[in-house]
Structure 1
Amino acid sequence: MNPTLARILIKNTFWNFFTQAWLILIFMVTTPVVVHNLGDEAYGILSLIMATVGYFGFLDFGISQATLKFISEHLARNERSQVHRIISTSVFFSLIVGLLGAAIIIFLAPSLIEFIFKVPPVLRNEAKISFYIFSGWLIASLLQGALQTVPAALQRFDLINLINGIACSLQGLVSAWLVLSGFHLKEVVALYLIIRVLSASAFFIVLFKLLPDITLRPMWHGPTFLKLFSLGKWVLVSYVVGPLMVNLDRFLIGSFISVAAVTYYAIPYAIITKLGIIPGSAAPVLFPAFSERGAMMDNSFLLGIFRRSLRILNLTILPFAVILFIFSDEILRIWMGVNFAQKSVAVARILSFAVVANGLAIIPYTLVQGLGRADITAKFHLLELPVYFLLCLFFIPSLGINGAAIAWTGRVVLDAALLFWYIRRRIGLRIRRHFCNEIKWGFLLGAAFALFMLGIKFSTQRLLIQGALILFSLGLYVSVVWLYVLDDRDRMHFKCA
């Protein structure tokens, strides 16, 4: 693996990671304020609105991901005219489908509120207004997705993280101020819309700063669109099915149980899946590199970076998953209150298992996409959807939100198994030699770390002492990994990043 490229990838991954870590802090501080002041039912409605409108992101049709792939390739070959044509076509398309999606959401909102979700009558009118307002978020979000491909292709993740970090920080902090000031659901939703419009506008400015010679105008270039869609058509399947699998549990909880139950599920789900910042920070950085080297058929590079990424992510994600599993009750009690913790702790513990499989699956997923084989992940998603739907129908009515967590865990384990199976065939990944060797130290250290955590949990009930011992154990874990698990090349890349 090229040392310069490795340093760039690590540096950009750090940018992504620290931005997301900061946003987790904002989330941890502001979420209890928003939930307790809005109320469990109103926050559940907010979660359903965001899930529903976010699902319509499938109208991107996979064009933004195809745009990123082709821009990376054309920039590598210095084909600037092709880059301009691709960006203009992508932005114009995003605007058109965004307007279409907003109209569909406005049309469907009354039926969703009245007949699908169990919204209390007193909140139905405000829920409808909030749906109408938030429909505009879809337009801005699709435009931002198209514009963001340029700094991503140029590996300018510092700019991406700066804009998104400021936007998400404002969203959390100002929404907390709004609810403390007596405002309610529709004002919070309006804030989310305004901030997304501002962040999309910022990416317009970044586009012209990075490519000052570009002429961005509404343009429909048929051959360019067909080129994008040829890759994006299979990404579309994943965009339709993927978000449905992400949000299906919440939709069914809101339909079978109540909108308040959505809150008791969504909050532990959110904090557990925040561990996804670790693989999620690497994925957008690795995608352009996978695309570039995949086009060169450089399988040795792909296998090398795949193995290193897998080893480092496994070592990083396991200790935090262990902490969340063992101390989920204490974390939820301090964070959200005793009553909330009693209803949500089992969900947190179940999902802490799933997040490890889901996190590791990000690497093969990103590689498959970078190789231009979006059809593979789309076919896997089509296979997983009926399985997941049946699991939800079986577990949610009988076990409630705990059943939803079990169903989600089963789905992500299946997804990870399928992705690793494909990579084994595509780049010669040997399960015993490559996969098992790369993750064995992580799981051995994870098991030892779990014993440390259990000892801390049962040796003292004083939270300050527990916290101090956890931090000490994390420091010891990092030292062991640095000195005895990472090799010289790994350490060199980190030092130079």
Structure 2
Amino acid sequence: MLTNTAWNLAGLGAPILAAVVAMPLLISQLGDARFGILALGWMVTGYFALFDFGVGRATTRSMAALRKAGAGGEHAGVFWNSLYVHAVLAGLGGLVFAAAVPWFVDTAFAIPPTLRDEAYAAFYWLAFSVPALVLASALRGPLEAEQRFDLVNAVKMPISALNYLAPLLALQFTQRVDTVIAVIAVSRWLATLAYAALCRRAVPLQPGHRAPQRGTVTALLKDGGWLTVTSIAVPAIMMLDRGLIARLVSLEAVTYYVVPYEVVTKMWVLSASLLGAAYPLMSASKGLDLHRLCDQTLRWLLVTATPATLVVLIFAEDLLRLWVGPHIAAHGAPVMQWLAVGVWINILAQVPLTALQASGRAHVVGSVQLLELPLYAVLAWCLILRYGTTGAAAAWAVRAAAEWLALSFALHRAEAHPGRWPAVSPLRLALLSAAIIAAGLTACATPLALKSLLALLLVAGLVAWQWRYLLTAQERGKLLARLPQRPATK
């Protein structure tokens, strides 16, 4: 699982690095207006990728479980039926996007008349790319079920980076944004073809079993539908808090919230990498095996996410001042600190969330998230009215904590786990909470040299404690074995 996590981390990190390099160059070469069309295109296409309706992840779960059970015929049946469902959804998604292009250009985004022709062509190219995104999900699922994250990320890394770097290449020949987006659309179809070739080579399928099966299709759509609720819940929460801040405070305050949010939520790469690798294993596990796997992933997330959270808590204002200047730093530092705590909790909540989805209980996760949305809206409204953007961040952290507790309780009840998880014993949670509080107090220290010294002592002490008490002797040995060995001297 460590190797697969490393592959996932590379696959998720590549587009982040590409974006850091490419974004300033794209803005300067395209200009603000044309880059705005490109950014809107990225956003809208991301939402239309949800036309997968969670069937790709449902396919991974079903195929991983059947693979362990040795049910070769059913394994192949799930693959082909998933492909049929995705083909229909892909065509539907592309047609809906194409039909919505006039509304996007003329009404929703109010594109200036001078750029309208380019925008129309650009958005039609994006409509052409939507089926590629949906079909790619159909082909990634079986590879992940086979634990071939090396192959998945061998395609994902360059294609994700090309999403930002390909426009730079196109801009050497033209300034038209539709040509830039055409290059992105073609690269997405190339990725889909690459996934198809890898599936043909790496996914063992028994001959036959290609006929559509109503029961399999219904099961995939039902499971995928509840998975889609989770995919929609996160954007809904994002739109809710930003909308409330704009309405109750000001548009400027949205910037003070969004900038630290974009920084802090990059820590989600840690949970996405690890749990992406753990999901097929959880899908094939039950009872005590699932319990041990959950405890192991939770401990590893604590080991990686907690030190990063302490650094953000301590240096929030300094990081923002260095990146975006003192004005936004002064308003955004408390927001960043509250969000850091919330993201840390949310990373831990991903363990029971993933385990419930992997064990076929996606409806439990969806029900919890649907229930929490109106409660979160009320809490965010009250705290924003009283504390502004800091209140919004505090509401986000409280919501994350409530979700973690609810999902952990649901998993405990569903799997009838004996006793507590060792990783979240009361003593360990108390010590980790004390470290978080100490980091908040350290953030008030001045000058910067004293703050840095205190931060070094706190983080070093935490890492030493985690190494000794959160990791097992076997895990410590595996990690040490992966370190480069110094050649022996003669």
TM-score normalized with structure 2 length: 0.80
Shift in alpha-carbon separation, 1:300–1:343, aligned structure 2, 3 A: same
Give the residue type in structure 1 aligned to 2:2.
Answer: I
- Tell me, yes or no, if structure 1 residue 412 matches structure 2 residue 397: no
Offset at 1:356?
1.0
| Corresponding residue of 1:67 | 59
For residues 406-435 of structure 1, give each alpha carbon's deviation from its aligned partner in whole angstroms, at most 9, with x where no partner exists.
564454333223212212323337669763
Distance 1:118 1:400 in 2: 30
Q: Which has the higher contact order (CA 8 A, sep 6+)?
A: 1
Match of 1:100 among 92, 95, 104: 92
| Corresponding residue of 2:477 | 492
Offset at 1:149?
1.2
Shift in alpha-carbon separation, 1:161–1:476, aligned structure 2, 3 A: farther
Map 1:301-316 to 2 at 5 A.
Answer: 301-316=289-304
- Tell me, yes or no, if structure 1 residue 358 matches structure 2 residue 346: yes
Shift in alpha-carbon separation, 1:10–1:227, aligned structure 2, 3 A: same
| Corresponding residue of 1:144 | 136
Map 1:168-317 to 2 at 5 A.
Answer: 168-176=160-168, 183=175, 185-211=177-203, 220-246=212-238, 268-294=260-286, 299-317=287-305
Distance 1:50 1:320 in 2: 29
Offset at 1:240?
4.4
Shift in alpha-carbon separation, 1:192–1:362, aligned structure 2, 3 A: farther
Give the residue type in structure 2 aligned to 1:459.
Answer: L
Shift in alpha-carbon separation, 1:76–1:496, aligned structure 2, 3 A: farther
| Corresponding residue of 2:364 | 376
| Corresponding residue of 2:411 | 423
| Corresponding residue of 1:133 | 125
| Corresponding residue of 2:467 | 482
| Corresponding residue of 2:447 | 458
Offset at 1:351?
2.6
User: Aligned residues: percent identity?
Assistant: 27
Offset at 1:93?
1.7
Gaps of 5+ in 1: 1-8
Give the residue type in structure 1 aligned to 2:352.
Answer: P
Distance 1:79 1:144 in 2: 25
Contact in 2 for aligned 1:117/1:258 (Cα 8 Å): no
| Corresponding residue of 2:433 | 443
Distance 1:32 1:400 in 2: 31
Contact in 2 for aligned 1:293/1:302 (Cα 8 Å): yes
Structure 2 residue matching 1:486: 3-state secondary structure: coil
For residues 193-238 of structure 1, give each alpha carbon's deviation from its aligned partner in whole angstroms, at most 9, with x where no partner exists.
2332222221111101113666799963323212323433433443
Shift in alpha-carbon separation, 1:59–1:174, aligned structure 2, 3 A: closer
Which stretch of structure 1 is more off in the superposition, 483-492 or 201-210? 483-492
- Tell me, yes or no, if structure 1 residue 87 matches structure 2 residue 95: no
Distance 2:250 2:40 in 1: 11
Which stretch of structure 1 is more off in the superposition, 484-493 or 118-127? 118-127
For residues 445-493 of structure 1, give each alpha carbon's deviation from its aligned partner in whole angstroms, at most 9, with x where no partner exists.
44455566665x63349xxx96x99789766654443245433133134
Structure 2 residue matching 1:492: 3-state secondary structure: helix
Supply the RMSD in Å over aligned alpha carbons. Answer: 4.2
Contact in 1 for aligned 2:147/2:277 (Cα 8 Å): yes
Which stretch of structure 1 is more off in the superposition, 65-74 or 417-426? 417-426
TM-score normalized with structure 1 length: 0.79
Count of aligned residue pairs for this structure pair:
480
Gaps of 5+ in 2: 483-490
Offset at 1:285?
1.6
Contact in 1 for aligned 2:146/2:203 (Cα 8 Å): no
Distance 1:35 1:351 in 2: 28
Offset at 1:345?
5.4
Q: Which of the two has higher C-alpha Rg? A: 2
Contact in 2 for aligned 1:60/1:97 (Cα 8 Å): yes
Contact in 2 for aligned 1:235/1:378 (Cα 8 Å): yes
Give the residue type in structure 2 aligned to 1:384.
Answer: E
Give the residue type in structure 2 aligned to 1:93.
Answer: V
Contact in 2 for aligned 1:89/1:225 (Cα 8 Å): yes
Distance 1:108 1:486 in 2: 52
Distance 2:274 2:143 in 1: 15
Map 1:18-57 to 2 at 5 A.
Answer: 18-35=10-27, 46-57=38-49
| Corresponding residue of 2:7 | 15
Structure 2 residue matching 1:220: 3-state secondary structure: coil
| Corresponding residue of 1:164 | 156
Contact in 1 for aligned 2:383/2:395 (Cα 8 Å): yes
Offset at 1:343?
7.6
For residues 258-305 of structure 1, give each alpha carbon's deviation from its aligned partner in whole angstroms, at most 9, with x where no partner exists.
9999887655433321101111111122212212112xxxx2222222
For residues 380-402 of structure 1, give each alpha carbon's deviation from its aligned partner in whole angstroms, at most 9, with x where no partner exists.
12212333455677788999877
Shift in alpha-carbon separation, 1:403–1:423, aligned structure 2, 3 A: same
Offset at 1:370?
1.3
Contact in 1 for aligned 2:295/2:422 (Cα 8 Å): no
Distance 1:388 1:38 in 2: 39
Contact in 2 for aligned 1:117/1:259 (Cα 8 Å): no
Distance 1:229 1:248 in 2: 28
Offset at 1:176?
4.9
Which stretch of structure 1 is more off in the superposition, 101-110 or 361-370? 101-110
Distance 2:35 2:209 in 1: 40
Contact in 2 for aligned 1:118/1:259 (Cα 8 Å): no
Offset at 1:164?
1.1
Distance 1:269 1:340 in 2: 13
For residues 2-47 of structure 1, give each alpha carbon's deviation from its aligned partner in whole angstroms, at most 9, with x where no partner exists.
xxxxxxx222223223443454333333344445655667656555
| Corresponding residue of 2:487 | none
Shift in alpha-carbon separation, 1:239–1:280, aligned structure 2, 3 A: closer
For residues 79-114 of structure 1, give each alpha carbon's deviation from its aligned partner in whole angstroms, at most 9, with x where no partner exists.
333222222221222122122122222333443455
Shift in alpha-carbon separation, 1:211–1:421, aligned structure 2, 3 A: closer
